[in-house]
Amino acid sequence: KNQVEQSPQSLIILEGKNCTLQCNYTVSPFSNLRWYKQDTGRGPVSLTIMTFSENTKSNGRYTATLDADTKQSSLHITASQLSDSASYICVVGGGTSYGKLTFGQGTILTVHP
Amino acid sequence: DAGVIQSPRHEVTEMGQEVTLRCKPISGHDYLFWYRQTMMRGLELLIYFNNNVPIDDSGMPEDRFSAKMPNASFSTLKIQPSEPRDSAVYFCASTVLLSETQYFGPGTRLLVL
């Protein structure tokens, strides 16, 4: 069964600190891995997309890594800001339908001043 | 570009009533997706279209749900009859290619009493 597991479920950090979110997946065949940020009451916004051949991709203070061998990904946030408070969702493309995305449950990040 | 447009933003209805959700994708995007998000199940893909043709509807929960895309700039998701367990936020998203970023609309928050 295609699954995406994220950890931790929630995380609280102080403004200015760094943090890392984890994602493990069992989707096969693998096509790509995406990280989305979802602010409360809004639709998800794409942060990064990585294919099998990419092992790191950055978007400003966000850096995603991918280890296709161990089927793990991480999202590292540097120098966190209050606006980083959101749900971060790991999404894996592939599986039985090329267009199908399997979503993780998300990690809720809260940044305190 | 105005982004993906969804209407209504909020819908409250009674069990048994028909509900129609609407979506206008970003101009030039050939793929359109309908998602449902709940606290329990997270984000789930319901159906997606390519060039107005339904490609994968395996996520549609049951026959009460139907989706159409009569032209490149408009899609509807209909629930008939609605049930309380259909209460969720329904997102529409569009993209140019399956491998590229999906752009989500603001969502329709549906409450079925």
Per-residue pLDDT tens over the stretch A26-78 = 988 888 899 999 999 999 999 999 988 899 999 999 999 999 999 999 999 99
Mean pLDDT of B25-37: 95
Q: How far apart are CA A45 and CA B24, in angstroms?
A: 17
Question: B106 preceded by cis ω (within 30°)?
Answer: no
Distances (CA, A) of B93 to A5, A79, B24, B60: 23, 30, 9, 16
Q: How far is CA A45 from the centre of its chain?
A: 11
Q: How far is CA B4 from the centre of its chain?
A: 11
pLDDT of residue A18: 98
pLDDT of residue B20: 98
pLDDT of residue B1: 63
Q: How far apart are CA A1 and CA B109, in angstroms?
A: 29
Torsion, CA B99, CA A40, CA A25, CA B33, rounded to 10: -40
* Contacts B91 to A, Cβ<8 Å: 43-44
pLDDT of residue A98: 54
* Contacts A44 to B, Cβ<8 Å: 43, 91, 104
pLDDT of residue B71 exceeding 70: yes
Assign B98 a pLDDT band (cuts: 50, 70, 90): confident
Indicate yes or no: CB of A103 within 8 angstroms of CB of B44: yes
Q: How far apart are CA A106 and CA A11, in angstroms?
A: 11
